[in-house]
Amino acid sequence: MAGSGQIRQLRRRIKSVRSTQKITRAMEMIAASRIMKAQRRVGEARPYAEQIHEVIRGLAASNAVSDHPLLAEHDAIDRVGLVIATSDRGLAGAYNANVLKIADRAIRQEEEQGREVDLYLVGRKSEGYFKYRGRTPTQLWTGVSDQPTYDDARAVAETVMDAYRKGELDRVWLIYTDFKSSLTQVPHRMQLLPVEAEEFEGGSEIPAEFMFEPDPDDILALLIPRYVEAKVFHGLLESAASEHASRQRAMKAATDNANDVINKLSRVMNQARQDQITTEISEIVGGAEALSGN
């Protein structure tokens, strides 16, 4: 027989699940609104990166760019840097796990070739993941993943560019999540340094009537670091959009699961109440029959 204590317990569980459902629904709506903002920011940043790329291609058509320190490959690849973009917060489904899986694979490949790996981490989730595995990051940035700014990207880019110029790193990879759509986000590994000269091939030579101030070599020296910064910024923006999309899906799934749990608990509670009512009616009928017999 179901007692009133069991019914009270079921009511408390239903109330608790409903409270959780309100939170997950609110987080789903917030994530959905942030996806649109993140997509808009990706679109707004694209013309800047494309224009820098076109200017460098035009200058590269008439000037040698291979001598720039960020394009020059080192004689030997002994130490590699990995810039890994994850989130600061959880509840984003498999978003962080997918990025970290690519990072683990990259680390394993580099170490199998006898190279040392330095970790440059964006987000607390990657920090906790590698700390558990006994790896200390060379540099860590937090509070960046949700709404990255260009200053955040510049800080990351300048750190690895400075290490590359000094010879402390011989190659740098950027590992981030490429936002394809609200349903599809793909973790991606991209070579950040050295910048491949092939990226600037095929440009049209700038006409001779153009005058440069400062001269083209100085402009290239300024623009190539900006180009690296733009690539990092693009990766952070794509990762932010992917994080929000993953969180929206995860919270929608949690909301739907909470609704299923509420329905199941409600059926159990209704059955318990029906059993209690049936028992009470039986007791009343039995008592009435006993009194009438006396």
Query: pLDDT at residue 263 above 60?
Result: yes
Phi and psi, residue 123, nearest 5°: 110, 145
Query: pLDDT at residue 65 above 60?
Result: no
The three-state secondary structure class of 148 is coil
Question: In whole angstroms, what is the distance from residue 122 CA to residue 143 CA?
Answer: 9
- pLDDT at position 61 is 53
pLDDT in tens, 72-85: 788 899 999 999 99
Query: pLDDT at residue 110 above 60?
Result: yes
Query: pLDDT at residue 36 above 60?
Result: yes
Q: At what angle do helices 216-293 and 150-165 cross, to 10 degrees?
A: 130
Question: In whole angstroms, what is the distance from residue 206 CA to residue 193 CA?
Answer: 26
User: What's the mean per-residue pLDDT of the chain?
Assistant: 84
210 pLDDT tier (thresholds 50, 70, 90): very low
Question: What domains does the chain contain, in order, with CATH numbers?
Answer: 31-249 (3.40.1380.10)
- pLDDT at position 1 is 46
* Of 53-57, 59-63, 64-68, 256-260, the least confident: 59-63
- Please state the rounded mean pLDDT for residues 188-210: 68
- Please state the rounded mean pLDDT for residues 224-243: 90
Query: pLDDT at residue 114 above 80?
Result: yes
The three-state secondary structure class of 131 is helix
199 pLDDT tier (thresholds 50, 70, 90): low
- Please state the rounded mean pLDDT for residues 187-206: 73
Work out the end-to-end distance of the chain between its first and last CA atoms, rounded to an integer number of angstroms.
Answer: 28
- Please state the rounded mean pLDDT for residues 215-234: 80
The three-state secondary structure class of 122 is strand
127 pLDDT tier (thresholds 50, 70, 90): very high
